[in-house]
């Protein structure tokens, strides 16, 4: 039996994933929880073959950080990240060691069970890029990687001076890039841009390791 944990803070999605695993004759659901740290403790307490891991779990605990720790401590445990966050940083961190595979809840074209079985078979299954979504009058892919880094820090509340110092550009350069995104997207101002970015799950900055 493939001993499986589901760590998902949305109760409806948690029930869906748990039901899917429970319906598979060769899988055993050993824990369904809302917190990545609870899943990590369960892996430490006993043998687990698979964790379906949300990224943003209860108390803002990071499923990516927990997944990376589990993979380092338990070499035979596979982590499949299941997320609706389209933040490119999530995909990058998952590929870099936080997960064995990643599947997008709202944008995945592959069947999740197929991804799980491929992962258990030794494959690493990741999209090439994060999904593209419409953000008012533009696509998320219209934002350059450099602008994403600026926007990420702006969402965190950093000043133009702080962003510029961290990224090695001028304060005016920071302002110009943000103004370009506002203009390209047809936003009234930067506050409307921030609201749209957060609503569309393009950037996540609240995760606690």
| Segment-wise mean pLDDT, segments of 10 residues, the chain, 209 residues | 97 95 96 97 95 94 96 97 93 96 81 96 95 92 94 92 96 96 95 90 78
Residues constituting the chain: 209
Report pLDDT for 71. Answer: 97
Q: Where are the domains of the chain?
A: 2-120, 134-199
Report pLDDT for 106. Answer: 76
The structure's pTM equals: 0.90
Structure-token pair, residue 130: 């994060």
Residues 6+ apart with CB under 8 A from 201: 84, 85, 86, 87
**The domain 2-120: what is its CATH number?**
3.40.50.2300
Q: How many CA atoms lie within 13 A of 170 on its CB side?
A: 3
Report pLDDT for 201. Answer: 85
The CATH number fitting domain 134-199, selected from 1.10.10.10, 2.40.50.140, 3.40.640.10, 3.30.1490.20: 1.10.10.10
Cα separation, 35 vs 88, in Å, equals: 23
């Amino acid at each position: 039996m493939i001993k499986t944990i589901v760590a998902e803070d949305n109760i409806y999605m948690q029930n869906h994933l748990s039901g899917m695993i429970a319906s598979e004759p060769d899988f055993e659901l050993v824990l369904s929880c809302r917190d990545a740290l609870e899943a990590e403790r369960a892996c430490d307490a006993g043998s687990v073959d698979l964790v379906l891991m949300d990224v943003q779990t209860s108390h803002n605990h990071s499923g990516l950080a927990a997944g990376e720790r589990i993979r380092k401590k338990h070499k035979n445990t596979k982590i499949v990240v299941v997320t609706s966050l389209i933040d490119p940083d999530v995909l990058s961190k998952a590929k870099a060691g936080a997960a064995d595979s990643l599947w997008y809840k709202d944008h995945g074209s592959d069947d999740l069970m197929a991804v799980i079985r491929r992962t258990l078979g030794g494959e690493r299954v990741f999209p090439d890029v994060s999904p593209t979504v419409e953000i008012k009058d533009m696509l998320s892919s219209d934002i350059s990687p450099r602008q994403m880094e600026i926007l990420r820090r702006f969402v965190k509340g950093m000043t133009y001076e702080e962003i510029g110092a961290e990224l090695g550009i001028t304060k005016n350069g920071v302002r110009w890039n943000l103004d370009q995104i506002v203009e390209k997207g047809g936003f009234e101002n930067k506050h409307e841009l921030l609201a749209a970015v957060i609503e569309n799950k393009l950037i996540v900055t609240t995760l606690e390791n």
